[in-house]
Amino acid sequence: MDTVLLLTPTEPDGTLPRAALEALSAARAVGESVWAGLFGARTGKAVAALSGAGVARVLSTEAEALAEPRYGSDVVAATALVRASGATVIVAPALSRVARFAAGMAERLSGRIDTHVTQLSSRGGLSATRWYYRQRIEATLVRAERPWVLLVDPGAFPLASPSGGAAPQLEEVPVEIGPELRRTRVAGLRAPAAGEQTIRPDAKTLFVAGAGWTKKQADGAPHPERAGELILGFLRASGASLGTSKSLTDQAGEGQKVLEFMSHLNQVGQTGSTPRHSRGLSTCCHGEEPHVVGWRFIRERRAVNLDPGCGWARGKADVLYVADAFAVMEKLNALLAAKK
Ligand SMILES: Cc1cc2nc3c(=O)[nH]c(=O)nc-3n(C[C@H](O)[C@H](O)[C@H](O)COP(=O)(O)OP(=O)(O)OC[C@H]3O[C@@H](n4cnc5c(N)ncnc54)[C@H](O)[C@@H]3O)c2cc1C
């Protein structure tokens, strides 16, 4: 029987990242006994959060040098925690901080690693499920080698809810982080030029704006300014996250006058992202396969398009409104404003 360790860094204030609570759900689904390994400048609030969360033992490494995410120090702390635990399966949230050191850690432990895990099962032995080829092929993996490190994708598991039970046994795991491990420094954070944060992974709804928003409309002229007002108005009122199609993203790259708050980071699809919101509303987007493949995990799909023969009509959306998205969004924004 495998011993499962939830391995995660803590936030700067010592709390657990949201994705770690999802990884905890994944670990609890397959581990008879789940332990946790925490590291960061502070871990106190995370330890408290794990009390009554079905975790039997918590190993913690606190050091000021772990305040900054950095391969050199993170890999040393994480490897020490896994060694001290003796765990054979390590479940960790696929945060960028974790993804940076996890493969190096697996190598130091002479273990194996799999990433982008979306399901774990213990039926007939531990197995992990992930997608390949841009979410087109689903594979279930089993491995004899241990330790086995599994990075679970954020958004794939529910947040762990308290399960009662005793407070976990706490153990400090000290690590030596010398100056040679602290050479890399975080100089600052640089976000994409977009003036407003439009990518909201925690939002319930994904709102996709396609290239139609910038095309000539019924009066023979394009209306990108009005399009921008309607889209941003909806995002502000609804809290939805903004996705886009490749055609719209590429127009921005080619210097055309388009929606300035869009960047390539908003692109959904084969060469873009695969978001995990529970609902999606697509507007002015044709719904071609390379775009819709990025909707794999969106459970309820609706689209607004002038063309009744668009891709969404061919079984890709639950509901297609054959309508002018300018008119629909104007009405929707008015309804949202009236609700406030
Ligand atoms: C290798 C490869 C990879 C690709 N990867 C991706 C990817 O990752 N993501 C992606 O999105 N695409 C990708 N594509 C491109 C994809 O095939 C499509 O070209 C793209 O998704 C089309 O974008 P669109 O639907 O926004 O634009 P269009 O095809 O131009 O469609 C615009 C739509 O807007 C509608 N419309 C216009 N005005 C209105 C209005 N007033 N109201 C309602 N509807 C209106 C039109 O009816 C039309 O259907 C890829 C293609 C290739 C070859």
As a whole number, mean pLDDT of residues 65-74 equals: 96
**What is the reported pLDDT for 166?**
78
**What is the reported pLDDT for 263?**
85
pLDDT at 208 over 90: yes
What percent of the chain is modeled with pLDDT above 90?
A: 82
pLDDT at 203 over 70: yes
Cα(210) to ligand 1 centroid in Å equals 6
As a whole number, mean pLDDT of residues 204-220 equals: 96
In order of their start, the domains of the chain are: 4-181 (3.40.50.620), 205-339 (3.40.50.1220)
Cα(222) to ligand 1 centroid in Å equals 16
Cα(315) to ligand 1 centroid in Å equals 17
Strand partners, 335: none
Alpha helices in the chain (DSSP H): 18-30, 44-49, 71-85, 96-108, 224-238, 246-253, 289-292, 325-339
**What is the reported pLDDT for 307?**
98
For a mutational test of ligand 1's pocket, the pick from 136, 214, 219, 284, i.e. the residue with the most ligand atoms closer than 8 A to its C-beta, is 284
pLDDT at 134 over 80: no
Pick the residue with more confidence: 103 or 191?
Answer: 103
Cα(286) to ligand 1 centroid in Å equals 5
- How confident is residue 133, by pLDDT bands cut at 50, 70 and 90? confident
For the whole model, what pTM was predicted? Answer: 0.80
**What is the reported pLDDT for 193?**
56
Helix axes 224-238, 325-339, angle to 10 degrees: 30
Pocket of ligand 1 (CB under 6 A): 210-212, 215, 217, 245-248, 267-272, 284-286, 288, 290-291, 294, 304-307, 310, 324-326
- Which residue's CA is the nearest one to ligand 1's atom 4? 290
**Nearest CA-CA partner of 245 in 258, 235, 232, 257:** 258
User: What tens digit of pLDDT does each residue of 222-275 get?
Assistant: 999 999 999 999 999 999 999 999 999 988 666 666 788 888 899 999 999 999
Cα(245) to ligand 1 centroid in Å equals 6
The number of beta carbons lying within 10 Å of the beta carbon of residue 165 is 12
**What is the reported pLDDT for 195?**
58
Question: How high does pLDDT run on average in the chain?
Answer: 93
295 neighbors 301 (Cβ within 8 angstroms)? yes
Transcribe 211-232 into DSSP letters: GGGGS--TTSS--HHHHHHHHH
As a whole number, mean pLDDT of residues 103-117 equals: 98
As a whole number, mean pLDDT of residues 18-37 equals: 94
**What is the reported pLDDT for 261?**
86
pLDDT at 141 over 60: yes
Pick the residue with more confidence: 340 or 41?
Answer: 41
- Which residue's CA is the nearest one to ligand 1's atom 2? 290
Cα(288) to ligand 1 centroid in Å equals 6
Pick the residue with more confidence: 340 or 275?
Answer: 275
Q: What count of Cα atoms within 13 Å lies in the side-chain half-sphere of residue 251?
A: 18
- Which residue's CA is the nearest one to ligand 1's atom 19? 247
**What is the reported pLDDT for 256?**
64
As a whole number, mean pLDDT of residues 98-104 equals: 98
**What is the reported pLDDT for 190?**
77
Instruction: Please name the residue that has the structure tokens 């086995």.
Output: 148
Segment among 134-138, 143-147, 221-225 with least mean pLDDT: 134-138
As a whole number, mean pLDDT of residues 19-48 equals: 95
Q: What count of Cα atoms within 13 Å lies in the side-chain half-sphere of residue 25?
A: 17
For a mutational test of ligand 1's pocket, the pick from 136, 208, 215, i.e. the residue with the most ligand atoms closer than 8 A to its C-beta, is 215
Cα(252) to ligand 1 centroid in Å equals 14
**What is the reported pLDDT for 148?**
98
As a whole number, mean pLDDT of residues 95-100 equals: 96
As a whole number, mean pLDDT of residues 164-179 equals: 90
Cα(310) to ligand 1 centroid in Å equals 10
For a mutational test of ligand 1's pocket, the pick from 135, 242, 291, i.e. the residue with the most ligand atoms closer than 8 A to its C-beta, is 291
User: What tens digit of pLDDT does each residue of 73-92 get?
Assistant: 999 999 999 999 999 999 99
For a mutational test of ligand 1's pocket, the pick from 247, 292, 307, i.e. the residue with the most ligand atoms closer than 8 A to its C-beta, is 247
